[in-house]
Amino acid sequence: MSDIRILTEDQLRDRLTLDQAAVDVIENAFATLARGGVVMPPILSMHMPDVNGELDVKTAYVPGLPGFAVKMSPGFFDNPRKGLPSTSGMMVVLSSDTGRVQAVLLDNGYLTDLRTAAAGAVAARHLARSDARRATVFGAGLQARMQLQALRLVRPIDQAVIWARDPDKAATLAQQMTGQGLQVSAQPDPEQAARFGDIIVTTTPATHPILRADWLRPGQHVTAMGSDQAGKNELDPHCLDRADLYVADRIGQTRLMGELRAALEAGIFSGAGDLPELGDIIIGRHPGRTHSDQITIADLTGTGVQDTAIATHALAAFSKDP
Amino acid sequence: MSDIRILTEDQLRDRLTLDQAAVDVIENAFATLARGGVVMPPILSMHMPDVNGELDVKTAYVPGLPGFAVKMSPGFFDNPRKGLPSTSGMMVVLSSDTGRVQAVLLDNGYLTDLRTAAAGAVAARHLARSDARRATVFGAGLQARMQLQALRLVRPIDQAVIWARDPDKAATLAQQMTGQGLQVSAQPDPEQAARFGDIIVTTTPATHPILRADWLRPGQHVTAMGSDQAGKNELDPHCLDRADLYVADRIGQTRLMGELRAALEAGIFSGAGDLPELGDIIIGRHPGRTHSDQITIADLTGTGVQDTAIATHALAAFSKDP
C-alpha cells in the first residue's frame, strides 16, 4: 500500500493554481472526448432526502492517460447552518494499466473548482469574440470569482460587473476582484448587467431563469455553468433559440441536467440532434463562432473527463517529489 | 483534513475477520434494505476494452448509520500476466450528516471479500436446512475458501467437496481446508459434487452454466454468488424453475446481472414480479423455506448496502484508537 500517494487539500492548493497549464489540460480533455475512445459512463447520483444531501460520482477513462479518476462530490445543504460549506469531496486515481489505486486526492472539492473554472476559460477561448474586454458574472460565489479569473487567462478582460441575488455579496466580490488592471463593480439591475458584458457567465444555483433572452445583444457569448442537475435552470429557454450557436460540454448530460433540458422541456428548442460539443469546436470539426455579431452559448454541466484530466495533471505536478 | 482516517489493507486484515459479528452486520444490512428507507442507486459500471479492464462503483445510504460508503471495484483481466490479481479496489466513507469524507479504506478488495462471504452465511442461515452438514463448493478461488468458512459460522458443516475447472486447484484447496473438524475433498465429477451437498455454493466466473437442474435433489440450498455482471451465468436456467424458492439479494440487480437474468433471457422463468429478497425473509415478511425437502436458491450479486455496512463496521472497530 506504500505506493499509494495521498495528497491533502493544502498540498494540492499549494502546487496547483488556475493557470494556463490547467486551461490547456482541460481543453485537451475536451478535444480527446471529441476524438473518441473516451469512456464516460452516466453520473451515479444518489439523493438522501432525510438528510437533505446528495452524492454524485463521476468517472471517465481517457486512452493514453496513465490513470483515471473517480470523483465523489457530496452536496449537503444543511451544512451552512453547521458552519460548513455544502459541497466537499475527493478523487481517487486508478492506474489505466492495472486498475490499482495510485492516489487519493483529498482535495475537498478544490480540483473540481479548478477544472470547472478552466472549462469556462476553454469555452470563452473558443466561442467568445477575440476582442472581448467586458465580462458579466451572475452569482457571487466561489465560481463567480474563479470564472472571472479564468476569463482573464484567455481574453483581454479589463472591466466586469457582478449581479447577485444578494447585492452585498456582489459588492464585496466586486471590491475584492478590482485591481491588477481589472475594474469590477456590482450591478443591481440584472438587465443592465446582462447588456454590459461581451462575455456573460452564469454561476448560480438558480432553479428559475435569471438571464432573459431579450436582454442579449449581438456579439455576446454566454457560459452557463450553474446548472448541473435536472432541477436547475439559469437561462430563459428562449436564450437557446435566440443564440446563433448552442454548444454543450456533453450533449447527453446537458439534455438531462443542463440548460438544454429546460429548453427542451419548454418545447422551445428542437434541434438537439445536431448540436456540437465543445470538443468538436476545439478539434475543428465544427467551425464555432463564424461572425463577431453572433450570440453563442456554452452549456457546461461538468464531465468526468475533466476530472480525470485535472487529477492526472495534479499527480504529474507531484511526480518528481519523493 | 487531519480528521480523515486512512486505513491500509494490513490494518484492516489485522482487525477484521470473517466472524459472527461480520455476518450479523451484513444480515442487518439486508434487513434494513427490506424495511425501506435505504437509498441504493444502480451500479456505475465502466468498461475499458482497450486495456481489458472494468470498474464498478457501488454506494448505498442507510438511514441511521453514521456514514455511507462509496466503493470502487476495478477488474483488470490482464493483471495475472503481470503477476497481479485481477481485482483490487477501495472504499471511501462519507458522513451521513455532512457528506464530508470520514475515512479512506485502502482495503484492496478485502472488505468486499468479507461482506461477500458474510452474505453467503446470511443466505445459508435463512434458507438452508438447519441440519445441513455437507457443503459443495464450485470454484477454488478466494471466495470458494471464504464461503466455506462462512457456512461453518451458521451451519454444522463437517464435510465438503470442491469441484473446480482446474482439478489441481480443487485438490490444493481441499487439502488446505481440511482440519478443525472439517473433512474436505476434491470431486472431479460436477454431478457427483452437486449431489453431495446439503448446501451448494457456486463461486466461479462462469459464463456458461456449471450446475445443472437435474443434478439437484430435494432439501438442497444453492447460493450462486459468482455472477455479478450481465455476461456471467453459473446455474442452468432450469434450476430456478426446479427450485421451490428463488431469493435475490436485490431483484433489480439479479434481473440485470444475476442468475435471474439468464433464466429470464432463456424464457424459463416468468414470476419475476413477486420474488422475495433476502431481507424480506430476514424480517419475516416472507416465510422462506417452509419444508426440509424444498430446494432453495439465493442469487447474490453484491449490493452497495453490504459495502456501507462492512465499511461502517470496519470504522467502528477502529473507533477507539487514537
- Put simply, whether A72 touches B (Cβ < 8 Å) is yes
* Closest chain B residue by Cα to residue A49: B39
- Strands A183-186 vs A221-224: parallel, antiparallel or unpaired: unpaired
In a domain, A124, yes or no: no
| Domain annotation covers residue B123 | no
Q: Which of residues 116-145 of B touch A (CB under 8 A)?
A: none
- Mutation pick from A3, A62, A72 vs chain B, by most beta carbons of B within 10 Å, is A72
Supply the mean pLDDT for chain A.
94
The cell numbers describing B305, all together, are 448496502
Main-chain phi, psi angles of A29, to 5 degrees: -65, -45
Q: Look at residue A273 in the predicted model and tell me its pLDDT.
A: 65
Q: Which cell is A171 given?
A: 459588492
> Helix, strand, coil proportions of chain A in percent (round to 5)?
40, 25, 40
On whether any CB of chain A is under 8 Å from the CB of B110, the answer is: no
Q: Which helix (H) or strand (E) segment is A246 a member of?
A: strand A245-248
Q: Which residues in chain B are closer than 8 Å to A68, comparing Cβ atoms?
A: 48, 55
Pair B74, B135 in one domain: no
Q: Which residue of B has its CA nearest to A105?
A: B104
Residues A3, A22: Cα–Cα separation, whole Å: 26
Pair (A175, A223) in one structural domain = yes
Q: Does residue A165 sit in the same domain as residue A51?
A: no
Distance CA A47, CA B45 (A): 19
Question: Chain A closest CA to B159's CA: distance in Å?
Answer: 37
User: In whole angstroms, what separates CA A179 from the centre of its chain?
Assistant: 24
> Which chain A positions have a beta carbon within 8 Å of B45's beta carbon?
41
ipTM of the complex: 0.86
Cα distance between residue B107 and residue B8, in whole Å? 6
pLDDT tens track for B97-151: 999 999 999 999 999 999 999 999 999 999 999 999 999 999 999 999 999 999 9
Chain A nearest-CA distance from B273, in A, is 25
Q: Is residue A270 part of a domain?
A: yes
Asked if residue A118 belongs to a domain, the reply is no
What order do you get walking across the sheet with A53-59 strand by strand? A5-8, A101-106, A90-95, A67-76, A53-59, A44-48
Establish if B225 belongs to a structural domain: yes
Q: Which residues in chain B are closer than 8 Å to A57, comparing Cβ atoms?
A: 44, 57, 59, 70
List the one residue out of A57, A34, A44, A171 whose CA is nearest residue A112: A57
- Using DSSP, state whether B246 is helix, strand or coil: strand
- CB distance A233 to A209 below 8 Å: yes
Identify the pLDDT of residue B275: 92
Are residues B42 and B75 both part of a single domain?
yes
For residues B211 and B79, state if they share a domain.
no
**CA atoms within 13 Å, Cβ hemisphere of B256:** 9
Residues B33, B14: Cα–Cα separation, whole Å: 29
Q: Does B44 touch chain A if contact means CB atoms closer than 8 Å? A: yes
Q: Is residue B67 within 8 angstroms of chain A, CB to CB?
A: no
Are A65 and A138 contained in the same domain?
no
Count of Cβ atoms closer than 10 Å to residue B137 Cβ: 32
What residues of chain B, 74 to 93, have a C-beta less than 8 Å from chain A? 74-76, 79, 82, 84, 87-90, 92
Looking at the DSSP assignment, which residues form a beta bridge with residue A68? A94
Residue B43 distance to chain A (closest CA, Å): 8
Same domain, A272 and A313: no
Residue A37 burial by Cβ neighbours in a 10 Å radius (0-12, 13-18, 19+)? exposed
β-pairing, A67-76 with A53-59? antiparallel
Q: What CA–CA distance (Å, rounded) separates A121 from B66?
A: 40
Find, among B110, B136, B108, the residue nearest to B224 by Cα. B136
Q: Is A16 helix (H, G, I), strand (E, B) or coil?
A: coil
21-40 in chain B: CB under 8 A from chain A: 37, 39
Domain that holds residue A51: 5-111+305-317
Q: Residue B130: count other Cβ atoms within 10 Å of its Cβ.
A: 10
What CATH code is carried by the domain that includes residue B19?
A: 3.30.1780.10
Which residues does chain A have with pLDDT short of 50?
1
Q: Say how far apart CA A140 and CA A169 lie, in whole Å.
A: 6
List the single residue in A with minimal CA-CA distance to B2: A8
CB contacts of B63 in chain A (<8 Å) are 50
Contact assignment for B76 to A99 by CB distance below 8 Å: yes
Is position A322 within any domain? no
Residue A187 lies in a domain: yes
- How many domains is chain B partitioned into structurally? 2
Provide the 3-class DSSP secondary structure of residue A108: coil
CB contact under 8 A, A48 and B55: no
pLDDT in tens, chain B (322 residues): 458 999 999 999 999 999 999 999 999 999 999 999 899 999 999 999 999 999 999 999 999 899 999 999 999 999 999 999 888 999 999 999 999 999 999 999 999 999 999 999 999 999 999 999 999 999 999 999 999 999 999 999 999 999 999 999 999 999 999 999 999 999 999 999 999 999 999 999 889 999 999 999 999 999 999 888 788 899 999 999 999 999 999 999 999 989 999 999 998 887 656 899 999 999 999 999 999 999 999 999 999 999 999 999 999 999 877 6
B322: in domain: no
pLDDT of A272:
55
**Residues of chain B with C-beta less than 8 angstroms from the C-beta of A88:** 98-101
Let me know whether B106 and B151 are in one domain: no
Q: What is the pLDDT of residue A270?
A: 72
Neighbours of A181 (CB within 10 A): 9
CATH number of the domain residue B283 falls in = 3.40.50.720
